[in-house]
Each structure stands twice: as structure tokens, then as C-alpha cells.
Amino acid sequence: VIVVDASAAMNNRDMRPTRLGVVCSVVTRLLNDFFDQNPISQVALVLLSDGKAERVTDLSGNVRNHKGRFEEKLAQGNAGGKGTASLRHGLEEALRLLEVQASYGTREVLV
């Protein structure tokens, strides 16, 4: 599960274009590389903003769906760059996503 901070702090321009823009491009590259190296793995995306955690995608191995929904959610403007990030809510959402996985699988959360 990849948890991304989409709070107001990510609107800072200490990186170009913004912190959120840099993270968006890194997550996109990470998804491409991850599925190239792990073709049968599954990933889910969670965004943190306004003190809430929002599930963008469920666990799946469809990289196009992940990238499309992630870019769509950030383009809406209602998910990116608002409020504060709640790590607790992000981890709880990640736990909900991972608890249905088989016990023999690896469960990881990237924040």
C-alpha cells in the first residue's frame, strides 16, 4: 500500500513545481518500476488530506488503473493540497486493505 501526503504542506514550492508534483511523478515511476520487477504483485493507493485517508485504488496489479485514478484524483483538486495529513488514518486504511490478504503474502506500507 502506498500512502501519499496530499495535505496543504505539499503545496510548498521548495521543489519544482511543488512537493506534491514531485511526489506524483515519483509515485508514477515507482509504479512502473515496481510492476516491471514484480508482475504478479498488488498495490493500493491512499491519499492523506483534510485529516482523512482516502482510498484511491484497491489492491490490484493493474498499473494503468493505479496511475489513471491517482492522476484523476489529484487533478480534481479536492484531494490535493488541503488541510493536514493524518498518518494514523492512513495506516488504519492501509491495515483495512491488507488484512484481507493471504497470510503467506508479504504486506508492506510505503508512506
DSSP 38-72: -TT--EEEEEEETTEEEEEEEEES-HHHHHHHHHH
Q: What is the pLDDT of residue 52?
A: 94
CA–CA separation, 83 vs 31, rounded Å? 26
**Is it true that domain 2-98 has CATH number 3.40.50.410?**
yes
pLDDT for residue 33 is more than 70: yes
pLDDT tier, 77 (very low <50, low <70, confident <90, very high otherwise) = low
Grid coordinates given for 54: 482516502
**Global confidence as pTM:** 0.89
pLDDT for residue 27 is more than 90: yes
Q: Comparing C-alpha atoms, which of 34, 86, 79 is closest to residue 60?
A: 34
